[in-house]
Structure 1
Amino acid sequence: MGSVSAVEVPRKSLRTPTAVAHAAFVPTGIATVLLGPVLPALSARWSLSDAQAGEFFFAEFLASTLGVILSGMLVPRLGYKSVIVLGLLFMAGGVGTLPMGSRLLGMAAVAGYGVGLGLTIPACNLLVAELNPGKRAAAVSLLNFSWTVGAVACPFLFTPFQRRGMISPFFYVLAAFVLLIALLIARVSFPPPGKSEAASSQPTKPLLAMLQTPVALVLAVLFFVYVGTENAMGGWLASYAKRLNGTGGTIWVTVPSFFYAGLLANRALAPVFLRRVSEIWLARISMGIALLGLVTLLSATSMAVIIISAAVIGLGLATIYPITIALLSSSFGPGANRVGSVMFMMASFGAACMPWMVGVTSTHMQSLKVGLAIPLAGCLLMLGLYFRDWRGGVANAVSE
C-alpha cells in the first residue's frame, strides 16, 4: 500500500494547474526568442536589411498585443485552461507555417504565433500569482524559470538543423511539440479565475480608477521597457555576435543562449535571495548588474567577452519581470486580471517597439552597436523607477 501511494502522489502533483503552466511555458520560451537565432538565416533567405528584419519583431509583438487584449477578455469568460490551450494552438500554427513561403507569409506566421504568446503569457503568469498569494514573486520567478529553459534551449535546438541546412524541418518539429503540450494541458482541470481566498477578501475598484493610481503608471512603464529590453537583447545578440565574430563557425548562433542561461540561473536562485532581501532591493541590485553587462557588451572586441557579457545581462534582468508581476498582483488583488490585461499589453508594445527601434537605428547609423544603446537607456530608466518610494503605492494601490 505504501508503494502505491508513493507512486500516485507525484503523478497527481504533475497534473496541477501550476505544473501545467510550467509545461506550457517551456515551448512559450522557445517561441518567444525564436526570431533571435533564426533571423540571420531568414535575413539571408529573404535579403533583409536590419530595418526590415526588425519589422518581424514588430509584427510578432504587435500581434501579441492583440493576444493580450483577447486574453484579458477571454480568461474571465472561458477560464485559464481554454485561453492557454488556444494560445498554444496559435503558436503551433504560426511556427509550422513560418518556413513555407515568402517574406510576407513569414510575417503573417510570426504574427500568428505572436497572438499565441499574447494569449498564453499573461494567463499563465496571473494563474500562478493567483494560486500562490503568499509567495507571488517566488512562484512567478519559478514559472519564468521554465520559460527560460525553453529560451536557453532554442538556439541549441536550432544549431544542428542550421548546420545541415534543414531549417524548415526544425519549425515543423517545434510546431508538433507545441501541439503535443496543448493536447496534454487540455486534459487537466483548472480552477475558475479570480477565486483565490486572498483575492476574494479584497475590495474591487473600477478599472479606470485603478489605472490612474501612481503605481499603475509606473508599472506600465516598467512592463513596456523591461519586456522591450529583454526582447531587444535576445533578438539582436546573435546578429551582433555574428558581425564581431572574425573566426567563422556557428558559435554566434548560441550567444543568445548564454543570455537566457543568465536569466535561467538567477530565476532559479531568486526565491533564495527573496528570503534575505526585499523585492525592491533585489530589483535595484539586479538592474545594476544588467547595466554593467550592457556596458561591457558594447565595448567588447572578442567573442569570449560577448558571451560573458550576455550572461551577465541575463543575470541582471532575470528577477525584474517576476518582481514586477508580483507587484502588479499584490497591488491590485482581484483587479489584477483586468489591470494585468493593460500591463501585458504595454509589455507587448515594448516588445514590438524596442527591437524594431534597434533595427531602424542600426540601419540609419550603420552600426548595430549604436542600436543596442536603446536597451542600455531602458535599463537606466528602470533603475531610476525602482529607486522610487514604493512603500505607499504598492500597499495602497487598491484602497486609495
Structure 2
Amino acid sequence: MPSEIKTTSTGTLAILHPVFALTGVLHAVGGALLPSLASRFHLSDSISGLLFLLYFAGTSLGALLCRGSYARLMTIGFAAMVCTCLAVAASPRSLLAPVFLLLGVSVGVPMSAVTLFAGRNFPERCAPLLTFLNFSWSIGALAAPLIAARILMHYDYRAAYILFAIASAAAAIACSLVLRDGPEPAHAFGDSAVTGTAVRLIVVFSFAAFLQVGIENTVAAWLPTYALRMAGSGFVMAAVSTSFYWAGFLVSRGFSSALLLRADPMRVFRCAVVLAFASVLLLELAPSVSTRNMAMFLLGVSLAPTYPLILAVFFARARRTADSRWVLFTAGFGGSVLPWIAGFASTHTGSLRAGMLTIPAALLIIAFILPTLGEPQRSSAIS
C-alpha cells in the first residue's frame, strides 16, 4: 500500500508541476505579446490597460469558482483555455474585451485549483509542495517572454496563442487521465460561524494580497512596453529584456524557500518590500539599459517571496482554510485594478513612467500595514 500511494503521488505531482508552469506562461506572456497586439489594432495605453483589467478580473473570478472537485475543475479550465486562446488569435478588435475576460477566467480556474488540490490531497506536506509548485510556476513565467520573443521573430501574437491552445489541450487530457481528488480533510474548526476577529483577519490579508498581486501583474503587464519605449529596440528585445525580471523572480523563489527554513518570515517580508521599493525607483531613474536590466532583476528577486509569505502567514493565523479563497479572489481583483490604473495614468499624463508609479505607491501602502500583518496570533479556538 505505501508503494502504491507513493506511485500515485509521484504521478500526480508529475502532472501538477508542468500544468502549473503552463498557467505561469499564460499569466505572464500577455505583457510580452502586448506590443504586437497593440500594434495590430492601434490600441492606446488606456485600452491596453482595460484588457489587462478584464483578464486579471477574470482570473479573480476563476479563483472564486474553485469549489468542489479540483481535479475536474483543472480539466475544465484547461479545456476552456483551448477555446479562449484560439479566440484571442481570431478575434477582431471589437471582441477583444470579452475574450480577454474569458481568457482570465479560463486561466484562473486551473491556476487556483492546483493550489487547492495540493492542500486537499497532501495536507501533511502542503507547505514544501506548494513552494516547489510555485517554483515551477515561476519557470513558466520566466519562459513566457523568451517564448514570445522567439515567436515574434517570425510571426505575431496570433501564432503564440495558437501554440498555447495546443499546450492547453494536452494539459486538459493529462489532468482528466491522471488526477483524482482525495476526500476533504476534516477541519479543526468545523463549520463554526465566522467571528469578527476572523473577518478582520480576512480583510487585512485580502487587502495585502490585493496590493501585492496588483504590483506583480502591473510589472508583468507593462514592463515589456516600458522597456520598448525606454530603449526603442523593437518588440523582440523588449520581450527579451523582461526575462531579467523573471530570472530574478525564479532565483528568489528557489532561494527564499531555503531561507525561510531558518529566517523569520515577517523579517524576510519587510526586507523584500524595502528592496522592491528601491528597485522600482532604480527602474524609474535608470540612465542606461544595463542599469534598467539590473533593476528588473532586483525587482523580481524582491517580489518573488511576498505573495507566498502573505498566504503562509494567513494560513498560520486563519481559523478556517476555506477562508483562503476570499484572499485569492481579492488578490486577483487587485491584479486587475492596478494594471488598469497604470494604463489610465499613462494615457492621461502622456508618460508610461508616470503610470509605473502605481508600483511604488502600492509598496508604500504595504509597508504601512506590515505591523498589522505581523501581529502575533491571538488565542486559538482549538480545544
Q: Which residue of 2 aligns with 1:254?
A: 240
Q: Which residue of 1 aligns with 2:210?
A: 224
Cα distance in 2 for partners of 1:90, 1:171 equals: 13
Cα distance in 2 for partners of 1:172, 1:42 equals: 14
Gaps of 5+ in 2: none
Q: Which residue of 1 aligns with 2:24?
A: 29
Contact conserved, 1:65 with 1:349, CA < 8 A, in 2?
yes
Deviations 1:109-130 (A, max 9, x none): 2222201222122222233344
Contact conserved, 1:80 with 1:123, CA < 8 A, in 2?
yes
- SS of 1:321 mapped into structure 2: helix
Which moved further from structure 2: 103-112 or 267-276? 103-112
Cα distance in 1 for partners of 2:235, 2:204 equals: 44
Q: Which residue of 1 aligns with 2:145?
A: 155
Q: Which residue of 2 aligns with 1:3?
A: none
Given candidates 307, 312, 321, the residue that maps to 1:336 is: 321
Structure 1 residues 164, 397: CA separation in 2 closer, same or farther (over 3 Å shift)? farther
Deviation at 1:273, TM superposition (A): 0.3
Cα distance in 2 for partners of 1:154, 1:285 equals: 28
Contact conserved, 1:46 with 1:103, CA < 8 A, in 2?
yes
Structure 1 residues 189, 166: CA separation in 2 closer, same or farther (over 3 Å shift)? closer
- The answer as to 2:74 corresponding to 1:84 is yes
Q: Which residue of 2 aligns with 1:59?
A: 54
Q: Which residue of 2 aligns with 1:327?
A: 313
Cα distance in 1 for partners of 2:216, 2:352 equals: 16
Given candidates 105, 110, 121, the residue that maps to 2:111 is: 121
Given candidates 327, 343, 346, the residue that maps to 1:359 is: 343
User: Which structure 2 residues correspond to residues 279-294 of structure 1 after superposition, within 5 A?
Assistant: 279-294=265-280
Cα distance in 2 for partners of 1:397, 1:305 equals: 48
Cα distance in 1 for partners of 2:98, 2:311 equals: 30
Letter in 2 for 1:113: L
Deviation at 1:369, TM superposition (A): 0.9
Cα distance in 2 for partners of 1:377, 1:357 equals: 12
Cα distance in 2 for partners of 1:351, 1:286 equals: 19
Letter in 2 for 1:160: R
Q: What TM-score results when the alignment is normalised by the length of structure 2? A: 0.91
Contact conserved, 1:137 with 1:322, CA < 8 A, in 2?
no
Q: What TM-score results when the alignment is normalised by the length of structure 1? A: 0.88
RMSD between aligned residues: 2.5
Deviations 1:267-299 (A, max 9, x none): 112221011112222211211221121111011
Structure 1 residues 58, 193: CA separation in 2 closer, same or farther (over 3 Å shift)? farther
Letter in 2 for 1:214: R
Contact conserved, 1:55 with 1:356, CA < 8 A, in 2?
yes
Deviations 1:132-180 (A, max 9, x none): 5566544323211111111111111111221213432221111101110
Letter in 2 for 1:256: T
- SS of 1:192 mapped into structure 2: coil
Given candidates 80, 88, 106, the residue that maps to 1:98 is: 88
User: What is the number of residues matched between the two proteins?
Assistant: 381
Cα distance in 2 for partners of 1:152, 1:58 equals: 22
Contact conserved, 1:332 with 1:397, CA < 8 A, in 2?
no
Contact conserved, 1:50 with 1:363, CA < 8 A, in 2?
yes
Given candidates 333, 350, 357, the residue that maps to 1:349 is: 333
Deviation at 1:98, TM superposition (A): 0.6
Letter in 2 for 1:154: A
Cα distance in 1 for partners of 2:271, 2:31 equals: 27
Contact conserved, 2:265 with 2:309, CA < 8 A, in 1?
yes
Deviation at 1:181, TM superposition (A): 1.2
Provide the identity percentage.
Answer: 24
- SS of 1:191 mapped into structure 2: coil
- The answer as to 2:192 corresponding to 1:202 is no
Which moved further from structure 2: 252-261 or 351-360? 252-261
